[in-house]
Amino acid sequence: MARVQRMLDACAELLDEGGYGELSTTRIAERAGVAIGSVYQFFPDKKAITQALGLRYLDLFSMRVTQRLAEEAFEHWTEAVEAIIDEYIDMHRTVPGFRSLHFGDVVDVRLLDPEADNNQVIANRLRELVVTTTEAKEGEELDRAVMVAVEASDAVLKLAFRHDPDGDPTLITEAKLLVHSYLSRHFGPR
């Protein structure tokens, strides 16, 4: 529905401008050009709107990663991992609101799913992509490896973007090296 998309777009813009603390349903309604009642028709509060935005980002990230993995021929799994990290970095730089919200940690570590923290939701989605696009076998070892890789890269990439809106290139390189080194233990060296 176009009205909901306008509200989510307005939420993203306002997050970039003032962060979650400055966000309100009234400001979202004004920016989206809708009545406040329209906001409440779909979302009970600003947390619900940011949750919907976080889920939209997760779907967009998954779609971008899936498309990139399908379009490019990777000689080694490390190149696929780098492509996934590059998609995250590009979203950080170009998708309105993503820099402020990421996948929702700023609001609630269980924003995307009340049963799992946000990084677990992302790791589950990436694990599904890895299994469907590679010869990786499902199991506890893969689950754990993807979870650790997501947590580690998330921490270093947050650090990379903390003081540099484009991401400190040295720290981005370190995040990729960290994930490559760790995953090499599970999937073999380059």
Asked whether residue 125 is assigned to any structural domain, the reply reads yes
pLDDT beyond 60 at 23? yes
Percentage of residues of the chain with pLDDT beyond 90? 66
Asked whether residue 138 is assigned to any structural domain, the reply reads yes
Asked whether residue 35 is assigned to any structural domain, the reply reads no
How much is the mean pLDDT over the chain?
90
pLDDT beyond 80 at 17? yes
Specify the CATH number for the domain of residue 178.
1.10.357.10
C-alpha–C-alpha distance, residues 171 and 161, integer Å:
9
Task: Output the pTM of the full model.
Answer: 0.88
- Decide: helix, strand or coil at residue 113: strand
Q: Which domain holds residue 83?
A: 55-187
Asked whether residue 146 is assigned to any structural domain, the reply reads yes
Asked whether residue 42 is assigned to any structural domain, the reply reads no
pLDDT tens, position by position, 139-157: 898 899 999 999 999 999 9
* Confidence (pLDDT) at 97: 92
Using an 8 Å Cβ cutoff, are 61 and 154 in contact? no
* Confidence (pLDDT) at 190: 56
Exposed, middle or buried, 71 (CB in 10 Å: 0-12/13-18/19+)? exposed
* Confidence (pLDDT) at 189: 66
Asked whether residue 25 is assigned to any structural domain, the reply reads no
Q: For the chain, how many structural domains are there in total?
A: 1
Asked whether residue 2 is assigned to any structural domain, the reply reads no
Asked whether residue 72 is assigned to any structural domain, the reply reads yes
